[in-house]
Amino acid sequence: MQFPDPLIRGRLIRRYKRFLADVELDGGEVITAHCANPGSMLGLNEPGLEVWLSPARNPKRKLKYSWELLDVDGGLVGINTAHPNGLAAEAIAAGRVPELAGYGGLRREVKYGKNSRVDLLLSDDGRPDCYVEIKNVHLMRRPGLAEFPDSVTARGAKHLRELADMVAAEHRAVMFYLVQRGDCEEFTIAADIDATYAEELRRALDRGVEAICYRCAIDTDGIEVDGPLTIVF
């Protein structure tokens, strides 16, 4: 995924009301940007951090910028949770996710479960359909170890139960954790943040749901899925 326009650099003043961030641009102007991230962004919203914004292409949009990246200890982290589904679909189509290779059909946002939509549905003649849920990851509290979630996620736990139901219906189901940073080697569940999610994942895995995790390569030109991380539970 390439950013359609050059990103604009600034310094974070504050993030508030979850979806708003005040940023001082390099020229000194202070603007309010859209923060497309419903999580806590633990460790990623400290005032003074260097951030990059994308300009809105719609002139009628109220907020003229979206927060895309920030620099943490010299490494870029993607915080826009609108991107992972597209990044994963792009990587799967390009054959960069061997665990999900060989499917001729790929559809996004397909209805399933109880009033839910699966992020990706992979299909091919002679194979069970593959239901793929994608979760954005950017929490790192210990060097090299990515963690999910960064806040309690009842919706995430619901998705795990629905994936397990798809396995019971003789389909394939995969939980795909996508780490929007390149400085991690391993991935785990932050059970101290959400013990219920950790337990639901254990149950889902016992019922046949698969889990995979990939990190991203990020620069100010774009983001792409890079390589797998070792999952440790």
Which architecture characterizes domain 84-231 according to CATH? 3-Layer(aba) Sandwich (3.40)
DSSP 91-141: HHHTT--GGG-S-SEEEEEEEETTTEEEEEEEE-TTS--EEEEEEEE-EEE
CB 225 within 8 A of CB 211: no
Q: In whole angstroms, how far apart are CA 76 and each of 50, 64, 131, 158?
A: 10, 22, 30, 31
pLDDT score of 231: 97
Q: Which amino acid, residue 186?
A: E
CB 201 within 8 A of CB 162: no
CB 219 within 8 A of CB 76: yes
Query: For the CA atoms of 93, 208, 200, 97, what is the dihedral angle to 10 degrees?
Result: -20
More confident residue, 116 or 7: 7
Output the six-digit token pair for 216.
């991203």
Output the six-digit token pair for 120.
């990706």
pLDDT score of 114: 81
Residues facing 9 on adjacent strands: 52
Q: In whole angstroms, how far apart are CA 59 and each of 7, 27, 63, 89, 103?
A: 17, 21, 9, 29, 39
Where are the CATH 2.40.50.580 domain residues in the chain?
A: 8-78
Least confident residue range of 92-101, 108-117, 120-129, 142-151 = 108-117
Q: CATH assignment of 8-78? A: 2.40.50.580
Residue 171 to residue 70: CA distance in whole angstroms: 39
Report the percent of the chain where pLDDT is more than 90: 94
Is residue 228 packed enough to be buried (19+ CB in 10 Å), middle (13-18) or exposed (0-12)? middle
pLDDT score of 60: 87
Q: Mind listing the pLDDT tens digit for each residue in 207-220? A: 999 999 999 999 99
pLDDT at 59 over 90: no
Q: HEC string of 170-221?
A: CCEEEEEEEECECCCCEEEECCCCCHHHHHHHHHHHHCCCEEEEEEEEEECC
Find how far residue 206's CA is from the centre of its chain: 24
Q: In whole angstroms, how far apart are CA 172 and each of 26, 68, 164?
A: 48, 33, 9
Report cis status (omega within 30 of 0) of the bond before 149.
yes
pLDDT score of 115: 82
Find how far residue 77's CA is from the centre of its chain: 11
Q: Mind listing the pLDDT tens digit for each residue in 130-181? A: 999 999 999 999 999 999 999 999 999 999 999 999 999 999 999 999 999 9
Report pTM. 0.95
Mean pLDDT along residues 34-57: 95
Where are the CATH 3.40.1350.60 domain residues in the chain?
A: 84-231
Mean pLDDT along residues 97-124: 94
Mean pLDDT along residues 3-21: 97
